[in-house]
Amino acid sequence: MKILIVDDNPTNVIIIREILKKEDYRNFITASSAKEMLKLLGIGAEGENGRQRASDIDLILLDMMMPEMDGIEACRVVQQYDHLKDIPIIMVTAVGDSKKLAEALDAGAVDYVTKPINKVELMARIRLALRLKREKDWHKERDQRIQDELKLAALVQNAVLSLPVMDETFEVHAIYQPSFELAGDLYAWYPLGDGRYAVILLDMMGHGISSSLFCMFLASVLKDTVTTYVEPEKVIQELNRRFNQLYIEKQLVQYYFTAIYLVIDTRMKRIDYVNAGHPPALFFEGEAKQPVLLESNCHPVGLFDRIDILPQSLSFEEEGHLVLYTDGLLEMAEGEQEDQLRFMTEHLNGGHEWREEAMRDVFFVDDSNQERDDDKCLVWISLKEGTDKE
């Protein structure tokens, strides 16, 4: 532990140094003014990449009354720097004015001792301040480790998301913007052969670590479930069964997710789907300005042991595009669902080709001044005629 003693009176410095030595504190340095203290703390000196140089000081004993810059003003300066403001500052003062002492504490000092210095009092306050500093450092290191692990987990979570597909008659892309490091949305698609493709988008209740862990579980069983059961009704029922196996004793919150799952047959020009409590997908065919809504036809997955489903189908003749999305996009528009769908239709119409830049400009502009409340995800499917039409 390194202690910085700041006092313009050499006698006071000697007294404090001798007290520290007798208590076996030998790692200390001194400064004769507030400006010298700021220099020792690296204020005004930049390290690599223009960042303020970190300080190895663990505690500051700061005289309140000094020429040029007093202790209170110096304390305020230190508090302006994020990498320094956690260093505990103990004011050393001969002033008995309670207002001045209150001002010092408001400026960022954690404690004070009065002159003439009492050895027992000084050491008690130093030990307390150093103990609090150790605890703060431990919490900061732990928080940093957690942040690093969350970033790694986010990379792993992002790695399970499907990559774009650009086949002759079928094209699919996605944009995903989680509200936190980890998120509760998941999308995937799988070629089934003979011009058929399975596509799923799901939105786990809530967001954060718990929701993302449930999503990772679903990602681990999704491919096997889809390729084994294929048909929308059977796939959603199997996901409901597997999800309900995650029984957690004394679980305070019942987790569930909404989902829309489609099997798209580009040869038969048919879409079979189940919408389990999810926002309606929008299908734009040909020159039509108004989309066909693929609306919910059963309750969300995980609410009940059994799930009754009436699968739906629609056929198409012309080229078109199909848009799936989570409710984070709907919430960008105010009003009832009808108003929100009008907002979505307005911005998702205008051609069947994938327009990533336009979609990002409308739905995924990140306002740093506003905290995002929900994950945002958009999946765009283009259905094309192909070159070998009969």
Of residues 152, 307, 145, 298, the one with CA closest to residue 216:
152
Tell me the per-residue pLDDT of 51-94, one tens digit each, with 9 for 90 and over: 566 788 999 999 999 988 999 999 999 999 988 999 999 999 88
Q: Does residue 50 surpass a pLDDT of 50?
A: no
What's the gap between Cα 79 and its chain centre? 27
Distance CA(178)–CA(315), nearest Å, equals 33
Residue 386 pLDDT level (bands cut at 50, 70, 90)? confident
Q: What is the pTM of this model?
A: 0.75
Instruction: Determine the pLDDT at residue 94.
Output: 85
Tell me the per-residue pLDDT of 270-299, one tens digit each, with 9 for 90 and over: 999 999 999 999 999 999 889 999 999 999
Instruction: Determine the pLDDT at residue 211.
Output: 84
Instruction: Determine the pLDDT at residue 171.
Output: 97
Tell me the per-residue pLDDT of 306-323, one tens digit each, with 9 for 90 and over: 999 988 999 999 999 999
Distance CA(211)–CA(130), nearest Å, equals 39
Q: Looking at residue 24, what DSSP letter applies? A: T
Instruction: Determine the pLDDT at residue 152.
Output: 87
Within a 13 Å sphere around the CA of 79, how many CA atoms are in the beta-carbon half?
A: 15
What three-state secondary structure class fits 166?
strand
Quick check: bond before 88 cis, omega within 30? no
344 vs 2, 312, 350, 380, 383, CA distance in Å?
60, 22, 12, 13, 19
